[in-house]
Structure 1
């Protein structure tokens, strides 16, 4: 036994001596040093938090390169998120000094070189969010450790301006907008220039993001400013074609903000806004969270991207040729619309109160407003066609969720996949539907027992939370998390989610313009989970039938 103890001690000592670490890393701004953590036998990870990728941004200006620093920057802590409204929208949090990123680099016996790089863009309706994500007892949602370790990839998470400071625009050159998208672009360019020093392959960068982050990923593949920098991309529950992706009338919103902060709305508006207190500006761009069937919450999401003639030279639908060489995965959760529809029609979450059919008609009326009564009736006929004479309570509630899911996420995502597949040269296209039921379904008030996968439910599985915090999950959640991380990291390595170092439970076919094949992702999935033509009747309604109806004449 004594001899065994000596062997173990020597092995531990040798491993400690040979712990793989990057040590001090040289970047274009100066030297940085992170923390090295031990993950297992001959497996370590370097973690860098709070590495600046741009200077403190000027108000309503594009980001500029960081001037650099002297000595060694200790990159051990997350930096503050960008200035934004708090959860209750009663105050602000964060700072204007927020353009930093975080990097996780896994090592085996030797220091890693030439690893694929996955760059995460967070969601939050372009209003909120941070590179580290929500924090519960120092367990940060967007901690890249599990993905980096399990998939053997470098993970980067970045900060970008949100809300008024990130997206306010007059539609003119005095306040062009898209500052948050320019921040993301500056981070991608920084990664492309510097990641080799961290052991990454600058020619193999995959963007991934969820909700407004998924739309951002799509925007970054469509802008001409990223030519040659992005190899692959994954959009979860959000694409550039979503109805909330582009502001059609940015000037009206700029004038509303100006009035709230006592600025004029004439030619002096932009100059006045630039001199206004940033916290007041941020609060002036907050969301009205009181939705109703006639005024859905979605239509209050007023700050997002604009067609500025620069970052987005044209409407997104005309820019897909810029992504022709980029491999692309896009998909949605099967009840992505629940979070939003539940605010518009609160009765859908009640087990005992009926949801009036009239509320569904009002919601459809709001979503088809430019087509008038004919649009609403055509929509209602489409969604109620298989109800039968007496639909039960659950059927009506689930239909309300389906309407929100289709309109806000699913149909635009299918349209983006179709456009990408149609115009792609070397880029491959993959479609998915995540159907894992919500963990709280039937247990707490907002989640009825019929709940599927709600908006943002995917995040915990992508970031490996069932492994990082095992007590909060069942074994089935670990299966699901393992599958998703395997598909995502295989894709980052090879452009094919089935090929890489990780085993997958089903072969995921490419999405082609004729077969529309997709993968249903679930903890219990097997080879039979390959499907085709996702919700085709409803995709056809929103993309072909509705647009062909005559529009109401507007002023």
Structure 2
């Protein structure tokens, strides 16, 4: 079945039942649900309701029916929705004595208040409406694209039809940029009163032998859809704008690891994930005065511009956008902090496992000139494609198939100083005027470097393995990097090299960034963390099974309380709350509360620019585990003089002194590196 034919069928189905959404209902639509991240096995699985604006009873009935729902019935159990109504009161959306339309009791028009008191009401009263929420759970492999769950929003001069599942409204594969000629900067896409389906992800950008050059798509998860053309004031939700990692050569915003449903639902935020061009197709720079590179970075800014213009139609606040990313995504966040093109376009930033410093990590935080990039990769690409002596090297390269370009031995995955998107060789941490002055959260996993190196060969010495890993051999004789005395000498060498790689490529440069960012008043607030509990991404596990928690008869899925490598990317399932959604087991009794706490902390930063979850919020929403964790372990302490501490993220978590400062000094990456 052709894509065009399928779109036609879908369009006719939607038209047949009308375009249902906040515009047709003349009402906001909110999904209220207690999301404890256990999906269908949750004890709160029946807690969901849809909330509509105040209206007479018959209009409320009609609104619920248009959404293929009915009025919520008090026989369902008020305890299932009490937290939802408590949260509306906390938000000051409604007063504590506000009454809501529910299903008639014994045929009499009825309402309920936030204490659960059911009373009869006049059908002509205008009361907010509680509809049932029976949309099924979705999984990483199944989407609720059935027409009865679809919802349409008018945004960007077009009608966009997405759908809802049990927890959230999903709008997938929204075009943010026009198709662009290869190695030109993307331009924002604008509709033309057309209708587009946002029911499935758009094409990923070319990587290896797959993907498309027309890949300018983003995805939105939101708990709230406002009615159009109304000043929504403080009802709009904070926005979390995710930039995926993948070494600038792979990945996409449609990776199920980054599904934003749980983060948006539990965190009460709007989550956006994006695609951007990768590898040579995204970052080629030639010394021809025309091809200046940073095309993938420009795509990120084009997507950010789209979000700023349109996210209010999906319930998001364009003035409260937090950009966040991991690995190369964190490198992107760092570059956007430095970019004149991105100034003023976001309000907060999170860098997860940003690379820099030594060896492989260097170019993620320090940028080549175009001439240097040519020497490192550009000339090799021209040679491989026989374009070196072409009258126009650019035209010659444009004639080469995209998958051939992305499969070459050489690749330009590098951000460069182009004079427009990046104007200096690194983030300026001395001059507050040259860097986006926003609150910053950053940190690492304990053993981030474990996946950036290979494994020692039998008989290989520590110094030889350091050399092969691109790490400074001088540390081989340093007392601050001692080799363990275990019987397995190869593992001993690996253990110490992981420590060197983690310090040299992640921890030291990020701690120095936090230190300078605070000391020089570049960022108004800085929070630092380190994960000491991780959950490895199955498809990303170099040197297996070192990143896995040890298996035993009592813990067949691994015991995360025992010693194992806390590897790169091991925080992602926790941040997005997707362990169970990915079909993975909870390994012990602490995986769930830890996941809840991490997600709640990230969402708290987006809401308040402080990662300490507000216990008024967590109590109102019934988030018991996070409430207890905050009460027991106290708040995250920001970086400040005489208190340069990090949040050690395990169960329970704690504030501790910075790691490895002596080791960072030995690597010439001290805390005051940027002074």
- TM-score, length of structure 2 as denominator length: 0.67
Residue 461 in structure 1 maps to residue 574 in structure 2: yes
What does 1:119-138 align with in structure 2 at a 5 Å threshold?
Answer: 119-133=241-255
Aligned to 1:161: 277
Aligned to 1:420: 517
> Quick check: 265-274 or 513-522, which moved more?
265-274
Residue 26 in structure 1 maps to residue 150 in structure 2: no
Using the TM superposition, give the Cα deviation of residue 452 of structure 1 relative to its aligned residue in structure 2, in angstroms: 2.1
Max radius of gyration: which structure? 2
What does 1:262-273 align with in structure 2 at a 5 Å threshold?
Answer: 262-265=386-389, 268-273=392-397
Aligned to 2:334: 218
1:438 and 1:360, CA in 2 relative to 1: closer, same or farther beyond 3 A? farther
Using the TM superposition, give the Cα deviation of residue 468 of structure 1 relative to its aligned residue in structure 2, in angstroms: 2.2
1:476 and 1:311, CA in 2 relative to 1: closer, same or farther beyond 3 A? same
1:283 and 1:389, CA in 2 relative to 1: closer, same or farther beyond 3 A? closer
Q: Distance in 1 between matches of 2:292 and 2:266?
A: 41
Residue 535 in structure 1 maps to residue 632 in structure 2: no
Point out the structure with the larger helix share: 1
Q: Distance in 2 between matches of 1:426 and 1:455?
A: 26
Using the TM superposition, give the Cα deviation of residue 157 of structure 1 relative to its aligned residue in structure 2, in angstroms: 0.3
> Between Structure 1 and Structure 2, how many residues are aligned?
495
1:385 and 1:437, CA in 2 relative to 1: closer, same or farther beyond 3 A? same
Mapped contact 1:324–1:427 kept (Cα < 8 A)? no
Secondary structure of the residue that 2:290 maps to in structure 1?
coil
1:381 to 454, 466, 477: 477
Aligned to 2:442: 330
Using the TM superposition, give the Cα deviation of residue 163 of structure 1 relative to its aligned residue in structure 2, in angstroms: 0.8
Secondary structure of the residue that 1:519 maps to in structure 2?
strand
CA offsets, 1:356-404, max 9 Å, x none? Answer: 324344247x334xxxxxxx33x22336554589996354321011111
1:117 and 1:6, CA in 2 relative to 1: closer, same or farther beyond 3 A? closer
1:178 to 272, 291, 294: 294
> Quick check: 207-216 or 452-461, which moved more?
452-461
Residue 101 in structure 1 maps to residue 218 in structure 2: yes
1:12 and 1:318, CA in 2 relative to 1: closer, same or farther beyond 3 A? same
Using the TM superposition, give the Cα deviation of residue 456 of structure 1 relative to its aligned residue in structure 2, in angstroms: 1.0
Mapped contact 2:263–2:575 kept (Cα < 8 A)? yes
1:435 to 524, 532, 545: 532
2:596 to 474, 482, 493: 482
Using the TM superposition, give the Cα deviation of residue 175 of structure 1 relative to its aligned residue in structure 2, in angstroms: 1.4
Aligned to 1:61: 184
Secondary structure of the residue that 1:399 maps to in structure 2?
helix
Mapped contact 1:115–1:152 kept (Cα < 8 A)? yes
Q: Distance in 2 between matches of 1:201 and 1:262?
A: 49
2:195 to 72, 81, 88: 72
Using the TM superposition, give the Cα deviation of residue 317 of structure 1 relative to its aligned residue in structure 2, in angstroms: 3.3
Mapped contact 1:438–1:457 kept (Cα < 8 A)? yes
Using the TM superposition, give the Cα deviation of residue 244 of structure 1 relative to its aligned residue in structure 2, in angstroms: 2.9
Secondary structure of the residue that 1:94 maps to in structure 2?
coil
Using the TM superposition, give the Cα deviation of residue 445 of structure 1 relative to its aligned residue in structure 2, in angstroms: 4.2
Q: Distance in 2 between matches of 1:326 and 1:547?
A: 21
1:28 and 1:49, CA in 2 relative to 1: closer, same or farther beyond 3 A? same
Using the TM superposition, give the Cα deviation of residue 316 of structure 1 relative to its aligned residue in structure 2, in angstroms: 1.7
1:7 and 1:479, CA in 2 relative to 1: closer, same or farther beyond 3 A? closer
Using the TM superposition, give the Cα deviation of residue 38 of structure 1 relative to its aligned residue in structure 2, in angstroms: 3.0
Aligned to 1:243: 362
Q: Distance in 1 between matches of 2:73 and 2:334?
A: 55
Q: Distance in 2 between matches of 1:161 and 1:109?
A: 32
Q: Distance in 2 between matches of 1:110 and 1:30?
A: 15
1:108 and 1:281, CA in 2 relative to 1: closer, same or farther beyond 3 A? closer
Q: Distance in 2 between matches of 1:539 and 1:116?
A: 36
CA offsets, 1:502-539, max 9 Å, x none? Answer: 435432111236532111101x224xx21122210122
CA offsets, 1:445-491, max 9 Å, x none? Answer: 45585522111111111121224246522232212211110110001
Mapped contact 2:483–2:496 kept (Cα < 8 A)? no
1:153 and 1:67, CA in 2 relative to 1: closer, same or farther beyond 3 A? closer
Q: Distance in 1 between matches of 2:164 and 2:214?
A: 26
Mapped contact 1:120–1:207 kept (Cα < 8 A)? yes
Using the TM superposition, give the Cα deviation of residue 223 of structure 1 relative to its aligned residue in structure 2, in angstroms: 0.7
Q: Distance in 2 between matches of 1:545 and 1:187?
A: 36
1:255 to 379, 393, 396: 379
Aligned to 2:48: none
Q: Distance in 2 between matches of 1:108 and 1:33?
A: 12
1:311 to 410, 421, 425: 421
Mapped contact 2:238–2:270 kept (Cα < 8 A)? yes
Aligned to 1:451: 564
Residue 359 in structure 1 maps to residue 464 in structure 2: yes
Q: Which blocks of at least 5 consecutive residues in structure 1 are unaligned?
A: 40-44, 86-91, 134-139, 288-301, 348-352, 369-375, 549-555
Q: Distance in 2 between matches of 1:431 and 1:196?
A: 31
Q: Distance in 1 between matches of 2:447 and 2:609?
A: 27
Mapped contact 1:217–1:235 kept (Cα < 8 A)? yes
Q: Distance in 2 between matches of 1:115 and 1:545?
A: 39
Mapped contact 2:245–2:251 kept (Cα < 8 A)? yes
Using the TM superposition, give the Cα deviation of residue 212 of structure 1 relative to its aligned residue in structure 2, in angstroms: 0.2
Aligned to 2:206: 83
- TM-score, length of structure 1 as denominator length: 0.80
Using the TM superposition, give the Cα deviation of residue 180 of structure 1 relative to its aligned residue in structure 2, in angstroms: 0.4
2:498 to 396, 401, 410: 401
Aligned to 1:292: none
CA offsets, 1:186-214, max 9 Å, x none? Answer: 11111111111111111100011110001
1:385 and 1:144, CA in 2 relative to 1: closer, same or farther beyond 3 A? closer
1:171 and 1:481, CA in 2 relative to 1: closer, same or farther beyond 3 A? farther
Mapped contact 1:53–1:186 kept (Cα < 8 A)? yes
Q: Distance in 2 between matches of 1:16 and 1:270?
A: 58
Aligned to 2:304: 188
CA offsets, 1:198-239, max 9 Å, x none? Answer: 111111000111100011011112111122211111111115
